[in-house]
Amino acid sequence: MSFSVEQLTRHSEFVSSLRFLAEALRARYDSGPRIARLLASHQRWLLTQMAYALYLEYDPAIPGSGLTVVKLRDVITEYRVASRNTVLSYVEELLTYRFIVPAAGGVRRPRRYEPSEISHAAMISWYLANLAALDMLDNGGRAVALAAHPELVDLAQPRMARHCLEAAAWREPPERVGQFLWTEAGGLVMDHLLSRVDLSTEVDGRVDLGRIDTRAIAAQFMMSRTHLQRLLRKAADHGSLGWYDEPKKTRVWMSRDFLDEYCRWQAVKLAAVDEAFAWAQSVAASTSPAQ
């Protein structure tokens, strides 16, 4: 049985699990910053996951199926995630950095694309990290199963991606969460903050995140320091973050209610990841040759 959203949010170790996931995603960024930035804002997350899902859903018997600009544009604009021009710019960026390549024999219009090897590896790594975070909650073997059978991603990822896109609770983050996630590199900043969460430091609804070096963080995530400071200031205005040492603003706290809000939002995605992977294992088992 996979976790429900409610089971995840109530789990006593869920914050620790999300901290582990944040640290794992930070490590992925350090090893490949350009491709990691494809998941660094919520809009790009939705674009990237749906692009990969469309590729996996390709059926040669169905004209126009697979990853094409038209298919991605239609599904993304249907849910008002991005404009047509944003989708076009996104696909052009993927081509420029060779994260996708034209499909072999794809001379018909609309042109069909496929992820490059680096994109395949990145998606499996992302799914592995999320499954490992879930395994922490029940001592499960999801990540081990995927490492042994990476082809399970081909079944699980499209199902997960569509569930997330269709779920308003994930597609439209709460306002305070969205202040980070809708901005460029905001997801990276949120992962960094979460990696510093230690619930044992909570006092009066505030969790101590320690000293934050905005100059170093901005440089690491290839964003302007001004943009980062503006992002933190907006979060402070809404009570999500604050500083113990005004006016120096170096030692930061996160409000527990904002942390809980972020956890509830993440639970929607992780429940979809878990359900889709359990479904993929079931399908694979039912279609495998009898031993």
**Domain annotation for the chain: domains and CATH numbers:** 5-170+269-287 (no CATH), 175-259 (1.10.10.10)
The pTM (predicted TM-score) of the whole model is 0.94
Residue 107 confidence (pLDDT): 58
Q: What is the DSSP annotation of the chain?
A: -PPPHHHHHH-TTHHHHHHHHHHHHHHHHHH-HHHHGGGSSHHHHHHHHHHHHHHHT--TTSTT-SEEHHHHHHHHHHTTSS-HHHHHHHHHHHHHTTSEEEPTT--SSSPEEEE-HHHHHHHHHHHHHHHHHHHHHHT--HHHHHHH-TTHHHHHHHHHHHHHHH-HHHHS--HHHHHHHTSTTHHHHHHHHHTT--GGG-BTTEEEEEE--HHHHHHHTT--HHHHHHHHHHHHHTTSEEESSTTT--EEEEEHHHHHHHHHHHHHHHHHHHHHHHHHHHHHHHHSPP-
Q: What is the pLDDT of residues 27-51, one digit of tens each?
A: 888 888 888 888 889 999 999 999 9
Residue 49 confidence (pLDDT): 98
Work out the percent of the chain whose per-residue pLDDT is above 70: 97
Residue 165 confidence (pLDDT): 98
Residue 291 confidence (pLDDT): 45
Residue 211 confidence (pLDDT): 95
Q: Which residues of the chain have pLDDT under 70?
A: 105-108, 288-291
